[in-house]
Amino acid sequence: NLAQECAGLLQGKHVVVTAGGTQEAIDPVRYIGNRSSGKFGYAIASAAHAMGARVVLVSGPTNLPCPDSVHRIDVVSADDMFQAVDAAFDGADILVCAAAVADYTPVRKADHKLKKANERLDCIELVETRDILASMSARKGDRVVVGFAAETDNLIEYASSKLASKGCDAIVANDVSRSDSTFGSDTDKVTWITADGAEELPCMPKNEAAFEILRRAALLYR
């Protein structure tokens, strides 16, 4: 089977994976978040370990248990995630950015619970977060960097433009409008996009897709 075929392909390699959604605090009780379950990133971390890699998983808040023998670094905000990945990337061979990183964060995070009656909650000023995938790609050298693109429409067009704009080696394009491929589901139909073109993979469980993605990433590494 697939797991056996892939065994040892990442022996001696150090893989860093981002997973889950980030939470951007508005005040101590409110935040801006998203619907990411973290399942895909966790499946990739687990598969990377099964393939022989040393694995660091930088994870936003999820309900998932840490995969066996994976070193998890728990983060909350996009800025926390950036700092953890930036530090972990130095010793890495392969980086897979599967996290749903918040694109914007509140400019001010109140230190007390805002009161709706007399504090402005109808208008929260936001600032764009740093792009982890693009920043690591810009200094990747020989390392392989893989990003994800979750889209509801124009999948290949949008995902292909992300390959170029982020400067990574590959993009895993995921059509999240499909009923069998939505946030939180266990199966996915993804398309692997590199400079060589787009290859649609069959619909399969996330943990099998994880092996497929890492097998392809390992081929790019050589």
Instruction: Show which residues are catalytic.
Output: 34
CB of 131 to Ca ion, least distance (A): 9
Residue 151 sits in the site that holds Ca ion (CB under 5 A): no
Alpha helices (H) in 14-153, listed in sequence order: 39-50, 78-89, 132-138
CB of 43 to ligand CTP, least distance (A): 15
Q: Name the helix (H) or strand (E) containing 147.
A: strand 144-151
**Spatial separation of the C-alpha atoms in residues 165 and 131, rounded to whole Å:** 11
CA dihedral sign of residues 134, 135, 137, 143: negative
DSSP assignment, residue 222?
-
Give min distance, CB of 116 to ligand CTP, in A.
29
Residue 196 labelled as part of a binding site? no
Q: Is 211 annotated as a binding residue?
A: no
User: Of 158 and 221, which has the nearer Cβ to Ca ion?
Assistant: 158
Which residue's structure tokens are 């994800």? 148
> What is the contact mask toward Ca ion in residues 48 to 87, using x (rule: CB under 5 A)?
----------------------------------------
User: How remote is the C-alpha of 66 from its chain's centroid?
Assistant: 15
Give residues 82-121 in contact with Ca ion (rule: CB under 5 A): 103
Choose among Ca ion, ligand CTP, none what residue 53 binds, the Cβ cut-off being 5 to 8 Å by kind: none
> What is the rounded CA–CA span in Å between residue 181 and residue 150?
10
Asked if residue 113 belongs to a known ligand binding site, the reply is yes
Residue closer to ligand CTP by CB (options 12, 184) is 184
Q: Which partner from the list Ca ion, ligand CTP, none does 149 bind, CB cut-off 5 to 8 Å by kind?
A: ligand CTP
Query: Least distance in Å: CB of 101 to ligand CTP?
Result: 4
Q: What is the rounded distance in angstroms from the CA atom of residue 92 to the CA atom of residue 155?
A: 29
For ligand CTP, the binding residues (CB under 6 A) are 18, 78, 97, 99, 101, 103, 129, 131-133, 147-150, 162
Q: Is 166 annotated as a binding residue?
A: yes
**How many CA atoms, within 13 angstroms, populate the side-chain half-sphere of residue 205?**
7
Asked whether 182 and 132 are in contact (CB, 8 A), the reply is: no
For residues 180 and 171, what is the distance between their CA atoms, to the nearest angstrom?
20
Q: Which residues are annotated as a binding site?
A: 103, 113, 148, 162, 166
Q: Which residues are annotated as a binding site for CTP?
A: 103, 113, 148, 162, 166
